[in-house]
Chains A and B, each alone.
Chain A
Amino acid sequence: MVFRPPPRLGGYPLKRTMQTYSIRSLARNARSFHENWTAAWRSPEPKPAYDVIIVGGGGHGLATAHYLAKNHRIANVAVLEKGWLGGGNTGRNTTVVRSNYLWDESAAFYEKSLQLYETLSQELNYNVMLSQRGLMLLCHSQHELHDAHRRAHAMRLNGIDSEFVSRENVLRMVPFLDGSPTARYPLCGGLLQRRGGVARHDAVAWGFARSADAFGVDIIQNCEVTGIRRDATGKIAGVDTTRGAIDAPKVAIVAAGHTSVLAAMAGIRLPIRSHPLQALVSEPVKPMLNVVVNSTQVHVYVSQSDKGELVMGAALDRFQSYGQRGSLPVIEDQMAAIVRLFPIVSRLKMLRQWAGIVDICPDASPIIGKTPVEGLYINGGWGTGGFKATPASGFCFAHTLAKDQPHPLTAPFNLDRFSGGRLIDETAAAAIAH
């Protein structure tokens, strides 16, 4: 009998041609005074047609491109970005990653994402600087205590690390919190996810971009999509852009705050509202905080960057907006809250403030999957907390694009849930940014 090797499922993986970063390549390049590093990705001219067009060069779009090539051998793909890579929310977020969600659907999805983060630097050969320093949610009232216990148990039933922390231990871990009896926001305890933490946002975008490019994906910056074209039968035919028309049978909208604007180009209405979300960074100080601290009650959260700055996020701006700047009342509330929580910071100066436009769904859960238009796919509605979702979002969305069916982990997050009444209400886990 002739021996035949078993057929390989899905064929051979695509080749990834890139200059690997390692201690050896660092030494080699040091000898030539670092003048011979190759660019991390090409800047190609758009081709007339692709198999898949991804609109939006943020983390989610770039991750989708990476996994399309890596897991599904589809690399005739263009990522079209109207500005620069990661210049949207990916480069504006406060980089908290965690998987402490209440409902099973969210827990399964965000936990997958955290697991992908844990090996992402190796997968991409790019240091995303994941720092699992722990994430502490503060409880200021009996209600919050009950809720924290419920969430801790729900998470543990889903196999996700979660601890309830007593008031004394919260103060031990976060010594600068106001734990006095007259504190404006009394401290009752905390909910801790030790595997939560922060990662470097730009590195996530750049690492996915470099890998996708090495698989052959065209990343095209300064290319705004201005129209979505459909053929006579209504199917997707391609897009119009500021750099000309490009054909593709599949178009994926991964445009965060602009999801509704792009969907409207294909005649689709979405349950999304776009709001500014702001963040602030203080002047650098000595190490004072080695976990991420979040208070949902007073709408503020804070972590300390490697440079020593306090990175602070706040609540959503109150009205809808596409102007990428935040309003002052929100900053005032945020500063008032942070000073009450950490009296020691009252004289810190703020260095920078900015806003991103986030896309909010009524249930604070994303929309990811197919649309009523054949060939059009949507990945949006990540609102205030999609950075942590970046790898799993790309992983699952690539599956949907390749196979034209939802990935089991993201199937519940379809657009039909709004008419089917199957909302996944995560407003408690996601109502505040991060």
Chain B
Amino acid sequence: MLLINCPWCGPRDEIEFTCGGEAHIARPADPAALSDQEWAEYLFMRKNLKGLHYERWHHSYGCRQWFNAARDTVTHEIHATYKMGETPPVVAGEDGVVKGGNS
């Protein structure tokens, strides 16, 4: 069971949350100007990283706010949670190597 630190409420059980998938995907400013390929890229293509992953979470059975988390998809360790709109924190991985923000 994960203990997730909601930036508004504090640590809560995993069952109170819904995971919203990859974070920091900006909606294109002018969708009509995009090619089908580019639109599909935005809608469907995902990094699906093995390791550090920046992702959105929703405190569905709590404050009902969205926020972001930097979580490892192998160990499930949550390195940080942060509010929407904040810059993603830089996280040092297990190997001690600092991995970039929006990796």
A362 within 8 A of B: yes
Known contacts A418-B40, A420-B36; A322/B45 CB under 8 A: no
* CB interface residues, B 45-82, toward A, < 8 Å: 45-48, 50, 53, 55, 71, 73-76
CB pair B75–A320 under 8 Å, yes or no, is no
Known contacts A261-B50, A323-B73, A419-B39; A271/B15 CB under 8 A: no
Known contacts A269-B41, A318-B19, A418-B40; A323/B48 CB under 8 A: no
What separation, in Å, do the CA atoms of A271 and B40 have in the docked complex?
A: 9
CB pair B36–A328 under 8 Å, yes or no, is no
CB pair B1–A320 under 8 Å, yes or no, is no
Q: How far is the CB of B12 from chain A (nearest CB, A)?
A: 13
What separation, in Å, do the CA atoms of A419 and B40 have in the docked complex?
A: 5
What separation, in Å, do the CA atoms of A321 and B44 have in the docked complex?
A: 18
B18 within 8 A of A: yes
CB pair A274–B48 under 8 Å, yes or no, is yes
B9 within 8 A of A: no
What separation, in Å, do the CA atoms of A261 and B46 have in the docked complex?
A: 11
Interface string of B7-36 (1 = CB under 8 A from A): 000000011001101000000000000001
CB pair A320–B74 under 8 Å, yes or no, is no
Q: Which of B18, B39, B47 lies at the interface centre, i.e. has the most chain A CB atoms within 10 A of its CB?
A: B47
CB pair B21–A320 under 8 Å, yes or no, is yes
Which B residues are CB-close (under 8 A) to A421? 36
B2 within 8 A of A: yes
Quick one: which of B18, B40, B41, B45 contacts A318, CB cutoff 8 A?
Answer: B18
What separation, in Å, do the CA atoms of A320 and B47 have in the docked complex?
A: 11
What separation, in Å, do the CA atoms of A269 and B46 have in the docked complex?
A: 7
Interface string of A395-432 (1 = CB under 8 A from B): 00000000000000000000000111100000000000
Q: How far is the CB of A388 from chain B (nearest CB, A)?
A: 24
A33 within 8 A of B: no
Interface residues on B, range: 20 to 34
Which B residues are CB-close (under 8 A) to A273? 21, 46, 48
CB pair A322–B40 under 8 Å, yes or no, is no
Which B residues are CB-close (under 8 A) to A321? 73-74, 76
* CB interface residues, A 214-265, toward B, < 8 Å: 258, 260-261, 264
Known contacts A319-B19, A327-B2, A419-B40; A269/B73 CB under 8 A: no
Q: How far is the CB of B24 from chain A (nearest CB, A)?
A: 15
CB pair B44–A418 under 8 Å, yes or no, is yes
The closest CB in chain B to the CB of A363 belongs to B44
Q: How far is the CB of B73 from chain A (nearest CB, A)?
A: 5
A188 within 8 A of B: no
Question: Binding site of B, secondary structure by majority: helix, strand, loop or mixed?
Answer: mixed
What separation, in Å, do the CA atoms of A320 and B49 have in the docked complex?
A: 9
The closest CB in chain A to the CB of B14 belongs to A329
* CB interface residues, A 297-345, toward B, < 8 Å: 318-323, 327-329
What separation, in Å, do the CA atoms of A431 and B44 have in the docked complex?
A: 17
Which A residues are CB-close (under 8 A) to B40? 271, 418-419
Quick one: which of A258, A327, A419 contacts B36, CB cutoff 8 A?
Answer: A419
CB pair B44–A323 under 8 Å, yes or no, is no
Q: Which of B2, B15, B48, B50 lies at the interface centre, i.e. has the most chain A CB atoms within 10 A of its CB?
A: B48
CB pair A329–B1 under 8 Å, yes or no, is yes
The closest CB in chain B to the CB of A420 belongs to B36
Q: How far is the CB of B32 from chain A (nearest CB, A)?
A: 15
A270 within 8 A of B: yes
A272 within 8 A of B: yes
Q: How far is the CB of A402 from chain B (nearest CB, A)?
A: 28
Which A residues are CB-close (under 8 A) to B45? 269-271, 418
What separation, in Å, do the CA atoms of A376 and B101 have in the docked complex?
A: 31
CB pair B48–A320 under 8 Å, yes or no, is yes
Quick one: which of A270, A322, A327 contacts B46, CB cutoff 8 A?
Answer: A270
Q: Which of A261, A329, A419, A421 lies at the interface centre, i.e. has the most chain B CB atoms within 10 A of its CB?
A: A419
Q: How far is the CB of B31 from chain A (nearest CB, A)?
A: 14
What separation, in Å, do the CA atoms of A421 and B1 have in the docked complex?
A: 38
23 contacts across the A-B interface (CB closer than 8 A): A260-B46, A260-B47, A269-B41, A270-B48, A271-B40, A273-B46, A273-B48, A274-B50, A318-B14, A319-B55, A319-B71, A320-B19, A320-B55, A320-B73, A323-B75, A323-B76, A329-B15, A362-B44, A418-B44, A419-B36, A419-B37, A420-B36, A421-B36
Chain A contacts to B: CB under 8 angstroms: 258, 260-261, 264, 269-274, 318-323, 327-329, 362, 418-421
Q: A269-B45, A320-B21 given. 10 additional CB < 8 A pairs?
A: A269-B46, A273-B46, A274-B48, A274-B50, A318-B19, A320-B73, A322-B50, A322-B73, A323-B74, A419-B40
Top 7 A-B residue pairs of the complex, sorted by shortest distance between their CB atoms: A271-B44, A419-B40, A260-B48, A319-B19, A269-B45, A419-B36, A418-B40
